Structure 1
């Protein structure tokens, strides 16, 4: 059937009404069904920005009928924005914020939280967990899927607030080749290529490559450099039996950033008045050594088999081996000292020397069955699967202080102070030495899962998921015994200070997670839903490091944390199914957190609870044939219940919003976007006086970007991206101590030439 696409623009007032009130639209749609003659509408098969379904085979229904908040960020929007990293891609979804790290330490790789909870260990590639301190690149991604709310039935342990699933590019039938060359301010240079070649009947090869070398905008010495290659082969395309073998290999050689002191920023406090009123440092100041480095190797190899059994059933098996390693030496800023308060040129800053040497390894196998069938009048879309997984993380310990270890004396690493306003990157800073201590954690998981969507009629569906998993975590390590008031000698009574004590701790348990959703469709293009989900987070699940301390959440004797999520929402496909709009109300409660219950006896118990209430609205797709939009707003409120440490819910902005839109007029495309993040509180505890807390919060900020593209011909497209259009200075991340910040990038520009051949 021919499909006629209207080029008329809908009235702006009508569009705003549709997005502002989903329920009235539903009522209007029902009335239209009663009064208008029947018609057949065929949605555009390729609407930029908008996805019909998730690539995750556990979601069997279209997104509009999925009773959960799921946002799909397609590669088309990433290309328009010139996004290169996962963190840049995640700017397209509200409710996600970045983190810097603990006091003098700086987090490595993608470190973020979503809906009030840490999420960096809930990143997946094609449905398999991807651990490791890696800054992930998007060069080999078809799309990024953001699933919000507890998802233990989907992915297993953890996942208090959801997970990120990265969908890899795989070979396709036909020849589809593209390349992009980008140059920009701050010596930005990037090359990507996506080559797909069909070499026989049902056989295709695909190769994605990336190379990048760039300084970091607004920073001296800091730079990002790396390359990636992702080869793949597919057999049996367009046949009942398909096999894919693909891999990805990433190398990064960066100069890391330890940040700058927060002096002079709005809200800054220091006990000495002259420092409290001191000027900001130059944002380009580099307080580390020019020899600081960060080297990352990340490799994964995947084999995927699919076979259509007939009758709507498909069996799949995916096997993956992955390994990544980070070796980093970084300098972080610490405390300001003031020998002569009246003369700021003499003020100095202490620095920390940090070293990370960490390896992550994973071996996973998943077998699943998707089947569609009926029992009486009920139509089922069922998914059943078995998952076997081995994961390992090994981290070595380093030190800079003078001490004796196993009878060997180690001298202190030279760590001179830096001039606050004129640091010298040529300062001789030593590299922290290995103490011999390490943590080697392993996890074995066997899981069974079952999902079923029961369609009782065209109006009503039930969707449920169950996951049972047996896990075992073992920690094998060596801990350096220390003395003094803050030492750990009491935990290792048989060992002297300076000796390495063995840590061999194990924990195992059964976990049962589930979710249930009900969907009512008042019209064929929309749904109302209610969902309830339960997830569990066992001790040591994030890095397989069990602890002996009774105050540590990773103590092997602790019960798993329990997260419950309730969500009510509505989703609609509007404008001939070119535009998706949705609204979701949710409450998430995370229980059984360890908290101090008796300061006199120093007794801890699992009675802490965090509650997050929120609402999210989104609109993704086309307003007209030439006007695309991706927008989202998230409002949330976090609260710590029954907990002595209220700071556990910090870094949770009340309001976040994102907008990206583009309009095509002939060969020209103009686009732009705005991101807003309300203030992020570092200090939440009402008993803590904010006036004495260095930087008690990150002030709210908004940033605007723009894009202009010109289609030279069907083979060549030129694009200019300008980021932070109005050169807004804002704090991007703040450390937990409040003394150290990283600023968002100043105004930058990138010119790209994209080729199709």
Structure 2
């Protein structure tokens, strides 16, 4: 067995960080001083924020974070459904375009097992998606039809959500019944020839009950890739009892079915930065964006179901008890034809790209019960808002192996035929599988301590015990089991259990009632098997149970202000995140691995959301990111290397203005600086294929017309200036997806 070495690190005070912290504090102090003067000279004037601002939210939905956003010492972005409606966004990936620092990825050969695949602040976050505070497992491209708002919490958040919270987390808040009768619906059609319809029905019954039903259905292509069929439908019924009383019960579920044509992407030939040993290929044009290199028989079927019972009970004296129970299950069944090697022989119209057949079969299951108590009390003159609870989770992922996928000849590079002959196609389960399970029991407590009207202390601690077990069956080889016939099924079981303690702490100063300056520190831990409950007996594998958990820490200095009569929220934060215990290969001769690797990401994030005037709304953000390997050995883990897919600068803006009672105009832009694929400092980038995703800026526009009080029409134009850009790139640079060219969507909305 290969020797494994581990070293623990402590966070050292860095001069650069100290200088930057003082700089940010200096920015906030003039604002603070100005606000104090205003408060003194206008103390008799009391201004309250509107309760129904279309873009700005006052606080997150989680009972763990009890304070308004302006008094929460952490970078949190909330994207409300009104923003998504104006943008014509229908998926969570589209919603996340409204916050900077998030990048999307293309799985190898398009064969990622997760529908929504992205990084946040330089770290993978695709397994940190939650719905109503409970982790959402599965390979689902999440639709927004049943989403009230999207909450993005950035930075390590182990105290909030437990293991694996390296980058933070994304919480999707479900639509629930209210005591107001309403009926809403939309129908839309876009340049991808997609037809989509949604409906939202809310009805009251009795003195305290309400029922709500959200549904959606869509069918058609994809803007920029009409050849890719996307079909989906979903239903989300919910019932609420006891609304307006001390005890409220919510029963709700969501059921989604997707039947898609999987997209393995396009060859990168002809793209700026493309490199190949063949001079003919290096000078070749790019392929048509509508080319499809898969087969007609390729498919992707996704089923996702969840049911939830939530009970809220007010105990009196400011205390509220909440219990949530959820069962969820999702499954993916995909067969994809991926593209591989280019061959340039003979005339250009005969060039080919080889293809391979791939399969994903995956079932995810979760059973969760959470209990939370929020109470407000005083100890002497010191106020406390305490949130404490217990979480019990059982999560599993089952992935059987399928063979008999067939073979297919190489495709014509510039004129692929999805009707090409598929031979030896007889898909069947081999008996091999991986079955991973994690069970977690956790307790946590958060306390906001109000020392005075100006000073608050925030602290949180989570302690959890987890047990991960992976059972697998594999086919033997002559090397792995020389005494067995090749192909014999061999079973194995690997397991690990441990305790994790995560914390967060912050100090917050309020120079005025509408503003704050804060300093916070938080951590998270990612033990082996956190991503997919799949442990490995292979030495040097990050999922080997002998490995130490990766440890992430974050220090953040920020300031938040609610201005313009508390209708516009302005935020600024300086952050530094460090991830330790990453795997590095010390010696190729002895195959010695170590956990000496350390990665650092630091930058500044700015945000603005709310109303500038009663007619003018805005949501905007800007983030810088300097991501580097601080300790490592060779290759992509060498000290001084950058981090893949981590742009130095990203920015997003969306704004709308109500011209009259009938007309509203809107628009926005997204900017992403270069995202590096090749990060090894010893490699000659000029000889690498598409070493980075070039920077790009894309502008969108919107015009809506209110026909009458019940009907409105909306036209969205995307990529107004028809910018050509790469959307995602795979790890080798051979395959990519392009951003949609100029396109449009027309939506009719109905409200009764």
Shared fold by TM > 0.5? yes
Q: Hey, what's the Cα distance between the residues in 2 that align with 1:589 and 1:290?
A: 46
After superposition, where does 1:596-745 map in structure 2 within 5 Å?
Answer: 596-644=585-633, 647=636, 649-666=643-660, 667-745=662-740
Match of 1:424 in 2: 417
Secondary structure of 1:28's aligned partner = helix
Match of 1:346 in 2: 350
Q: Hey, what's the Cα distance between the residues in 1 that align with 2:273 and 2:190?
A: 34
Q: Residues 651 and 711 of structure 1: is their aligned pair in 2 closer, same or farther, counting only changes over 3 Å?
A: same
Match of 1:121 in 2: 127
After superposition, where does 1:56-135 map in structure 2 within 5 Å?
Answer: 56-102=62-108, 105-135=111-141
Contact 1:724 1:746 in 2 (8 A): yes
Structure 1 vs Structure 2 CA RMSD: 1.6
Deviation digits for residues 7-37 of structure 1 (CA, Å, limit 9, x no counterpart): xxxxxxxxxxx9x954432221122233445
Secondary structure of 1:414's aligned partner = strand
After superposition, where does 1:172-191 map in structure 2 within 5 Å?
Answer: 172-191=178-197
Q: Hey, what's the Cα distance between the residues in 1 that align with 2:486 and 2:399?
A: 22
Match of 1:540 in 2: 529
More deviation, 522-531/35-44: 35-44
More deviation, 171-180/102-111: 102-111
Q: Hey, what's the Cα distance between the residues in 2 that align with 1:148 and 1:54?
A: 13
Contact 2:190 2:223 in 1 (8 A): no
Q: Residues 334 and 558 of structure 1: is their aligned pair in 2 closer, same or farther, counting only changes over 3 Å?
A: same
Secondary structure of 1:301's aligned partner = strand
After superposition, where does 1:359-374 map in structure 2 within 5 Å?
Answer: 359-374=363-378
CA drift at 1:347: 1.1
CA drift at 1:223: 1.3
Contact 2:635 2:682 in 1 (8 A): no
Q: Hey, what's the Cα distance between the residues in 1 that align with 2:261 and 2:282?
A: 31
Q: Hey, what's the Cα distance between the residues in 1 that align with 2:282 and 2:328?
A: 49
Deviation digits for residues 270-306 of structure 1 (CA, Å, limit 9, x no counterpart): 0111111111011111001012111000000000011
Q: 1:594 aligns with which of 573, 583, 586?
A: 583
Alignment of 1:475 onto 2:466:
no
Secondary structure of 2:418's aligned partner = coil
Deviation digits for residues 410-456 of structure 1 (CA, Å, limit 9, x no counterpart): xx832210111111110123556533221000010000000000011
After superposition, where does 1:493-504 map in structure 2 within 5 Å?
Answer: 495-504=484-493
Match of 1:314 in 2: 320
Q: 2:53 aligns with which of 32, 47, 54?
A: 47
Contact 1:358 1:394 in 2 (8 A): yes
Match of 1:560 in 2: 549
Match of 1:413 in 2: 406
Q: 1:387 aligns with which of 382, 388, 391?
A: 391
TM-score scaled by length of structure 1: 0.93
Deviation digits for residues 46-70 of structure 1 (CA, Å, limit 9, x no counterpart): 1120001111111100000000001
Contact 2:159 2:461 in 1 (8 A): yes
Secondary structure of 2:284's aligned partner = coil
Secondary structure of 2:223's aligned partner = coil
Deviation digits for residues 694-739 of structure 1 (CA, Å, limit 9, x no counterpart): 1111111111111000111111111111111112111110000110
Secondary structure of 2:171's aligned partner = strand
Contact 2:28 2:517 in 1 (8 A): no
Match of 2:7 in 1: none
Deviation digits for residues 306-340 of structure 1 (CA, Å, limit 9, x no counterpart): 10000000111000000000101111111101223
CA drift at 1:103: 5.3
**Aligned positions, number:** 720
More deviation, 27-36/516-525: 27-36
Q: Hey, what's the Cα distance between the residues in 1 that align with 2:336 and 2:152?
A: 31
Contact 1:103 1:736 in 2 (8 A): no
Q: Residues 495 and 148 of structure 1: is their aligned pair in 2 closer, same or farther, counting only changes over 3 Å?
A: farther
Alignment of 1:505 onto 2:494:
yes
Q: Residues 501 and 566 of structure 1: is their aligned pair in 2 closer, same or farther, counting only changes over 3 Å?
A: same
Gapped regions of structure 2 (runs ≥ 5) = 1-23, 638-642
Q: Hey, what's the Cα distance between the residues in 2 that align with 1:642 and 1:496?
A: 44
Gapped regions of structure 1 (runs ≥ 5) = 1-17, 401-411, 484-488
Secondary structure of 1:221's aligned partner = strand
Q: Hey, what's the Cα distance between the residues in 1 that align with 2:717 and 2:195?
A: 15
Deviation digits for residues 557-602 of structure 1 (CA, Å, limit 9, x no counterpart): 1111100000000000010000000001000011011110112211
Contact 1:103 1:737 in 2 (8 A): no
Q: Hey, what's the Cα distance between the residues in 1 that align with 2:164 and 2:337?
A: 32
More deviation, 247-256/430-439: 430-439
CA drift at 1:636: 0.6
TM-score scaled by length of structure 2: 0.94
CA drift at 1:210: 0.4
Contact 1:221 1:290 in 2 (8 A): no
Q: Residues 439 and 265 of structure 1: is their aligned pair in 2 closer, same or farther, counting only changes over 3 Å?
A: same
